[in-house]
Structure 1
Amino acid sequence: MTAPLRILAINGSERDGNTADVLRYAAGVAARRGVEFETVDLRTVRMDRCGPCGDCNTRTVPCAVEDGVADVVARMIEADGIVFAAPVHGFGTASLMQTFIERAGVGHLRFDRPLTNKVAGVVSVARRYSGGEVWAQLTVNALLNRMIVVGSGFPATVHALHRGDALKDDEGLTNVSRLVDRMIDMMELLAEHHRLTGQDGPIHTGEANERVGLALNAAEFEDVPEPGLAPESALSAQARP
């Protein structure tokens, strides 16, 4: 018997408010499709900001800061789909989600892109302004991690001011519902592909770390060969334009 498909939502809000309400709504959509839906509320995760060490761009192993970020990353790797959800604060992405993107992305995910070919969805919650900008930032972050981003027609941006307003935005919730359904459609397609072929994903992943070979980072990766090349060949490859 195959395990049920699972979606993990990352809630970047500092409170149990409209963003949490939208994710609970999304969980109901997933449940009707027989898909597990779990939410990580970043406000409950012990998460330090990036410190003064400044070695993020030169280290070749995950971040040494000991907090809850590594555990959240591990849960993301185990999921079939991931929803990134955050409210607009100060015309930008809420600070908890911004911190998580920085810590998880640079400190853990960039080395071998473990989220490659996982299905991603993005939800932003805004009173009126900058919902599209936050949605776009989170979408680019998913693309950076080589995830498969599904569309919902209009972006899944929900408008709300006071607690409870999000559940009154019928159009926004329709887009969230469509997003979750399309994520599940893609997850099922990928699962069927795996069943038929035994391969983890239909899309070639290429090199594990796209930073290898960039002249700016040559010193960082001078001992790391390109896929299929001996170490001495990798060094000469870094010098190619």
Structure 2
Amino acid sequence: MQEQRPVVLGICGSERAGGNTDLALEHAAGLVALRGADFRTIHLRDHRVSPCSPCGDCNYRDDPCALPDAMPQIIAEMKRADGIIYATPVHGFGLAHLMQIFIERAGVGFLRFDRPLANKVGGIIVTGRRYSEGSVHNQLVDNLLLNRMILVGSGFPAVLRNTSRAPELSDTEGLEAVERMVQRMLDMILLLRRHADTTGEPVLPPHDRNERAGRVRTH
């Protein structure tokens, strides 16, 4: 039986079609394809992702969020992927609002119950002019680690700067960081697969994924 090709999923948090963040993910997709793997992209702007509602029961409920939007389908794509890259621009010195809404809904509404992204390989691309890219990158690092994902060290963060009005990939150092990140993500994905094929077990134990286990249902 032919081995299934690794899948890397890019989640784009930019409202601007064809902007710097889109170009960055297209560049990453080309690098993934050169390694014989598949790259899929979800543009959050093309999907209905509702902000968290005022229900206030996220810390007590034990089943996924019931707000009717595209979140269940997006989460299903994340579960199927071997690696996930969050790509977002900096807006207002912080995380672009589409990505902020998404990680809030994904975390409290879906991922916290059994941490299905545990042991998947994660990556981050941040685009901006020249300010606050580090803060946005750090926030996404915390989110990946919260979900027990594997974040490979790849030197400098994959941050792409562009001060011109036209979208372009002109940051040579940033592009080198993106390439290192993508290559090391794929290396780690293949390493994890080889280990599982050889031993029949994951590299890291699958237990202890749900810090909420044992809580009493209250609704």
**Counterpart position of 1:8:** 9
Q: Partner of 2:208 in structure 1?
A: 207
Aligned match of 1:151: 153
SS of the equivalent of 1:187 reads: helix
AA aligned opposite 2:128: A
Q: 2:9–2:39: 8 Å Cα contact kept in structure 1?
A: yes
Tell me the secondary structure at the aligned position of residue 100 of structure 1: helix
Q: Which has the higher contact order (CA 8 A, sep 6+)?
A: 2
Whole-Å separation in 1 of the counterparts to 2:97 and 2:167: 22
Structure of larger gyration radius:
1
In 1: Cα distance, 2:54 partner to 2:108 partner: 14
Give matches, 1:43-122, under 5 Å.
Answer: 43-122=45-124
User: In 1, are the aligned partners of 2:118 and 2:209 still within 8 Å (CA)?
Assistant: no
Asked if 1:30 is matched to 2:29, the reply is no
* Residue 216 of structure 2 corresponds to residue 222 of structure 1: yes
| Offset at residue 205 of structure 1 (A) | 3.3
- Aligned-partner Cα distance in 2 for 1:105–1:37: 23
Give the aligned residue type for 1:4: R
Does residue 137 (structure 1) correspond to residue 128 (structure 2)? The answer is no
Structure 1 segments, 4+ long, off by >3 Å, are none
User: Across the two proteins, how many residue pairs are aligned to each other?
Assistant: 214
Q: Which amino acid aligns with 2:167?
A: G
Instruction: Kindly provide the amino acid, as one letter, of the partner of residue 42 in structure 2.
Output: V
Deviation sequence 1:159-203 (CA, Å, 0-9, x none):
0232323x111110110011000000000001111111122x211
Paired with 1:127 and 1:103, the residues of 2 have a C-alpha distance of 27
How far apart, in 1, do the equivalents of 2:120 and 2:187 lie?
13
What TM-score, normalized to structure 1? Answer: 0.86
Q: Distance in 2 between matches of 1:112 and 1:203?
A: 15
**Distance (Å, rounded) in 2 between the aligned partners of 1:120 and 1:52:** 30
Q: Distance in 2 between matches of 1:171 and 1:204?
A: 36
% identity of equivalent residues:
52
1:35-90 superposed Cα distances (whole Å, 9 cap, x missing partner):
10111000001111111111111110000111001110100000000001111000
5+ residue gaps, structure 2: none
Scaled by the length of structure 2, what TM-score is found? 0.95
**Alignment RMSD (CA, Å):** 1.2
